[in-house]
Amino acid sequence: MSTSCTRPRRTAPALAAALLLAGCSGGTGDADGGGRAAPAAGRGSAVSAERCAQNEAAGTVTYVTGYQFQASASILDPVAAEALGYFDALCLDVEIQPGSGETAQNAQLVAAGTAQLSSIAGASDVLVNVANGVDVTAVALFGHVPVATLMTGPDVTDLRQLEGTTLGHKGALPVTIEAMLRTAGVDLDRVEQVSVGYDPTVLVRGQVQSLTGYKSNEPLTLRELGEEVTEWNPEDHGVPGSMATTIVDPGFLAEHPTAVQDFLRAQLHAYAHCEQHAAECVGYAAQSSRAGYDTEHNQRVWETETQLIDSSQPAGQPLGAIDAATVRAEAEFLVGMGQIDAVPDVDALVAEDVVAGLYEGAELIWPAP
């Protein structure tokens, strides 16, 4: 397994600097947080010699997480796949880069070839970025419900009460939250929007009257502090959405299809392991992160997100599968809300066959064929 930052392919200078300044991790995962050594698979043990050579020809595969090493779906599972040796078993050299939480930046990094794959919040975020001229392909989708939420104090009983108040976000208003507010009849021109970073206590201190966040993170933090908050969820207002979507550089996918497929194979294999061994996998993320990683909170993040994913999984559809119909439905809704001008060529945007080829019926194919 590779453990050092390498020079990105076809790097746009400003984007490369942003990525490399964020730091990197090879994530050796020597122990599970409880002192037990991680089970290691041998190099190439889960792949044929021919496919191993194809994957090695891809070089270093850089993956950008959605936000740091938080124990979210599409973050914890790739981190665990690295620590458990699953990438190595498929002859993949993977570098996991911690993302900043800004979906637009992740999409731009992939489109520029600075990273080959990345996690992004949901299909709606992919659609908005594509509408803004960012060239990426969506290859996997884990949850079929929006992960974003809007928090207020319990005194807010109608979203239109937010007019004339201040809304805090993390650099941009999430697509599904904007759609929810528009659906509820909120005049967004009368809502002051400010970037407030990642401290959710700005809400309970009264610095903002509403705050965007993720169902699996900020509401948990505030309740752990004993604070009472109300969550306003897009799906309760008829807003379609998804979570834990994986995007890829389309040029890289065309040139190295087995590498993309086997990255996801290892990720899905690790996801199943982490569903049964959450504390162990959170331990791997803690090792990759800087000091101060809250393992108890992050285990709750993982358990909350896997529950959202499990409860929203369409019947008969394997985990991680992405289909054009779902993405098209989100696109049509965004057009109706005026968030994008037109439905893009979804069949070109979505590569359904990547994850579909990983399964035999409902069973993930491991080792690789």
Predicted confidence band of residue 21 (pLDDT cuts 50, 70, 90): very low
| Residue 320 identity | G
Predicted confidence band of residue 40 (pLDDT cuts 50, 70, 90): low
Same domain, 247 and 205: no
The pLDDT assigned to 250 comes to 98
Phi, psi for residue 76 in degrees, rounded to 5: -65, -40
Q: In the predicted model, what is the mean pLDDT of residues 239-254?
A: 96
Q: Is the pLDDT of residue 206 over 50?
A: yes
The pLDDT assigned to 36 comes to 42
Q: Is the pLDDT of residue 117 over 90?
A: yes
- Please say which residue of 237, 261, 276 terminates a domain: 237
The CA angle 254-259-264, to the nearest 5 degrees, is: 110
Look up the domain containing 189 and give its range: 148-237
Same domain, 170 and 268: no
Out of 37-51, 170-184, 245-259, 287-301, give the one with best mean pLDDT. 245-259
Q: Has residue 3 been placed in a domain? A: no
Q: Has residue 369 been placed in a domain? A: no
Report residue 138 CA to chain centroid gap.
Answer: 12
> For the ranges 36-45, 110-119, 300-309, which has the lowest average pLDDT?
36-45
Q: Has residue 4 been placed in a domain? A: no
- Can you tell me the distance from the alpha carbon of 321 to that of 364, in angstroms, rounded to the nearest whole number? 11
Phi, psi for residue 37 in degrees, rounded to 5: -65, 140
Closest CA relative to residue 94, chosen from 71, 116, 124: 116
Percent above pLDDT 90 for the chain: 84
Q: Has residue 333 been placed in a domain? A: yes
Q: Is the pLDDT of residue 265 over 80?
A: yes
DSSP lists the bridge partners of residue 214 as: 148
Same domain, 275 and 298: yes
> For the ranges 30-34, 101-105, 177-181, which has the lowest average pLDDT?
30-34
- How many other C-beta atoms lie within 10 A of the C-beta of residue 300? 20
Same domain, 219 and 277: no
Q: Contact 32/280 with Cβ under 8 angstroms? A: yes
Structure letter (DSSP) for residue 61 = E
The pLDDT assigned to 29 comes to 36
> For the ranges 71-80, 98-107, 108-117, 208-217, which has the lowest average pLDDT?
98-107
Look at the alpha carbons of 218, 219, 220, 226 in this order and tell me if their dihedral is positive or negative: positive
Same domain, 128 and 226: no
Same domain, 65 and 211: no
Same domain, 212 and 325: no
The pLDDT assigned to 14 comes to 36
Same domain, 63 and 118: yes
- Please say which residue of 208, 237, 266 terminates a domain: 237
Q: Tell me the H-state helices in 205-315.
A: 218-224, 250-255, 257-276, 278-288, 295-312
How far lies 213's CA from each of 25, 156, 191, 318, in Å?
26, 17, 17, 28
For the chain, the first-to-last Cα distance in angstroms comes to 21
The pLDDT assigned to 197 comes to 83
Q: In the predicted model, what is the mean pLDDT of residues 343-367?
A: 96
Q: Has residue 212 been placed in a domain? A: yes
- CATH number for position 206: 3.40.190.10
How far lies 23's CA from each of 16, 29, 64, 113, in Å?
11, 17, 11, 17
Structure letter (DSSP) for residue 159 = G
Would you list the DSSP string of 102-139? -HHHHHHHHHTTS-SEEEES-HHHHHHHHHTT---EEE
- How many other C-beta atoms lie within 10 A of the C-beta of residue 345? 10
Same domain, 294 and 188: no
Report residue 145 CA to chain centroid gap.
Answer: 13
The pLDDT assigned to 37 comes to 42
Q: In the predicted model, what is the mean pLDDT of residues 69-88?
A: 97
Q: Has residue 8 been placed in a domain? A: no
Task: Quote the mean pLDDT of the chain.
Answer: 89
The pLDDT assigned to 150 comes to 98
Q: Which tokens sit at 157?
A: 């009983």
Q: Which residues contact 64 (CB under 8 A, 6 or more apart)?
A: 19, 97, 98, 99, 106, 109, 110, 115, 117, 118, 119
Same domain, 199 and 330: no
- Please say which residue of 205, 237, 269 terminates a domain: 237
Helix (H) or strand (E) holding 93: strand 93-97
Closest CA relative to residue 327, chosen from 123, 189, 172, 142: 123
Percent above pLDDT 70 for the chain: 89
**Overall number of domains in the chain:** 2
- Can you tell me the distance from the alpha carbon of 104 to that of 129, in angstroms, rounded to the nearest whole number? 6
Q: In the predicted model, what is the mean pLDDT of residues 263-273?
A: 98
Q: Has residue 65 been placed in a domain? A: yes
Q: Has residue 2 been placed in a domain? A: no
CB crowding 58-88: b at 16 or more within 10 Å, else e: bbbbbbbbbbbbbbbbbbbbbbbbbbbbbbb
The pLDDT assigned to 291 comes to 78
Would you list the DSSP string of 213-244? EETTSHHHHHHHTT---EEE-GGGGT----EE
Phi-psi region of 364 (alpha: psi -120 to 50; beta: other; left: phi over 0): beta
Same domain, 175 and 128: no
The pLDDT assigned to 198 comes to 85
- The tens digit of pLDDT for each residue in 125-172 reads 999 999 999 999 999 999 999 999 999 999 999 999 999 999 999 888
The pLDDT assigned to 41 comes to 66
Q: Is the pLDDT of residue 195 over 70?
A: yes
The pLDDT assigned to 132 comes to 95
The pLDDT assigned to 171 comes to 85
The pLDDT assigned to 39 comes to 54
Same domain, 246 and 231: no
